[in-house]
Amino acid sequence: MSHDTDPTHVADSPSGETGASAPGQNPGTDQDPIRPESGQTEATHPRIQELEAALEEMREKWLRSEAEMQNLRTRTKREVDDARQYATQKFARDVVEAAENLKRALSSLPAPAEGEDALITRMREGIESTERSFLGILERNGISAADPAGHPFDANHHQAMAEQHSDEHAHGTVIQAWTPAWTLHGRLLKPAMVVVSKGAPPAAETPAG
């Protein structure tokens, strides 16, 4: 028995769908792309701001920490340098005593005079040479002596041993220095022992007639 064949009959598709898609249509592409809802985007803003604030706080803490570390390094280096420079301060104070003793030895000799004993001349020259050499060694090691005679009295570097009137020196001027002011790398080691002017003596009162 034969079957009639309908030329308009369309065979079912394997998927069971009948009918083809319309021309120009792409199955599965007719849906809008997925977009985040506006509420979802707005909800992330506070979190971003919170993270930015935390980052800025950490940055400020780091900068403060770096500044403190730099200050600590500078302070530590200064303390180490000071300890190295002034570790011999007590010894240096004793050494300048020897220098002052040389000066006293020279002062105890009579002033140079024509026809003086040759022994005294040689002794004076020997002490002067020793003093110059000794002061040079002290200078090379940061120990300096300053004669304040003729300069204003400075309580930070001078110790007044006496006061006296003077027509040649204004009030508060050092007339004479018994010892110099000694410093170690600029720091006072031993103050100068000085005599300070009280200014001109008062004028004598005219007796009443």
Q: For the segment 144-181, what is each residue's pLDDT rounded down to a tens digit?
A: 999 999 999 999 999 999 999 999 999 999 999 999 99
Let me know whether 125 and 192 are in one domain.
Answer: yes
- Please give the pLDDT value at position 11: 44
- 81 and 100 co-located in one domain: no
Tens digit of each residue's pLDDT (9 = 90 or more) over 113-123: 888 899 999 99
Q: What is the reported pTM?
A: 0.57
Bigger pLDDT: 22 vs 161: 161
Q: What is the pLDDT of residues 64-100, one digit of tens each?
A: 888 888 888 888 888 887 777 777 888 898 899 999 9
67 inside domain = yes
| Phi–psi pair at 93, nearest 5 degrees | -65, -35
User: What does the angle CA 158 – CA 162 – CA 164 come to, to the nearest 5 degrees?
Assistant: 115
Query: Which residues constitute the domain of residue 192?
Result: 87-111+118-197
65 and 149 together in one domain: no
Q: Are residue 148 and residue 52 in the same domain, yes or no?
A: no
Is the pLDDT at 4 greater than 80? The verdict is: no
For residue 81, how many C-alpha atoms fall within 13 Å in the half-sphere facing its CB?
A: 7
> How many domains, in total, are found in the chain?
2
Does 91 lie in the same domain as 164?
A: yes
Average pLDDT on 11-35 reads 48
Q: Do 58 and 132 fall into the same domain?
A: no
